[in-house]
């Protein structure tokens, strides 16, 4: 959790009636990368108050594509926080719904 240091009460989130009932919409958006980057899929969530959050950013990588790599074949998917997208993240969503 880079850059996030607040305690989160997961028990409260998962056992409360509010919890995930606060989420009204979940959707994905494809994000075209800059000339040096990789395209990604951004999963977003909207709560009852209309606030949008980035649940995660999923990027494919071909880390095992080098000649001398024998352990990894195919595509690896990295699930990232998406903090650089400028929206509140999944950690903010959890904090706001676990109060």
Range 46-67 average pLDDT? 81
44 touches 54 (CB < 8 A): yes
Asked whether residue 49 is assigned to any structural domain, the reply reads yes
Q: For the segment 75-96, what is each residue's pLDDT rounded down to a tens digit?
A: 778 888 888 888 998 888 877 7
Q: How far apart are CA 3 and CA 34, in angstroms?
A: 24
The mean pLDDT value of the chain amounts to 77
Range of the domain at 89: 10-97
- Tell me, yes or no, whether 3 lies in a domain: no
Report the predicted TM-score, pTM, of the whole model to 2 decimal places. Answer: 0.69
Residue 1, domain member (yes or no): no
70, part of any domain: yes
Q: Considering the domain boundaries, does residue 93 fall inside one?
A: yes
Confirm whether 80 is domain-assigned.
yes
Q: In the structure, what pLDDT confidence band is assigned to residue 50 with cuts at 50, 70 and 90?
A: very high
Domain assignment present for 31: yes
* Residue 90 placed within a domain: yes
Instruction: Report helix, strand or coil for 80.
Output: strand
């Amino acid at each position: 959790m880079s850059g996030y240091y607040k305690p989160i009460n997961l028990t409260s989130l998962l056992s409360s009636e509010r919890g995930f009932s606060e989420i009204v919409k979940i959707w994905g958006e494809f994000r075209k990368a800059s000339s040096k980057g990789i395209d990604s899929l951004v999963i977003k969530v909207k709560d009852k108050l209309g606030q949008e959050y980035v649940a995660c950013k999923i990027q494919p990588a071909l880390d095992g594509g080098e000649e001398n790599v024998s352990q990894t074949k195919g595509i690896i998917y990295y699930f990232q926080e998406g903090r650089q997208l400028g929206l509140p993240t999944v950690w903010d969503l959890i904090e706001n719904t676990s109060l």
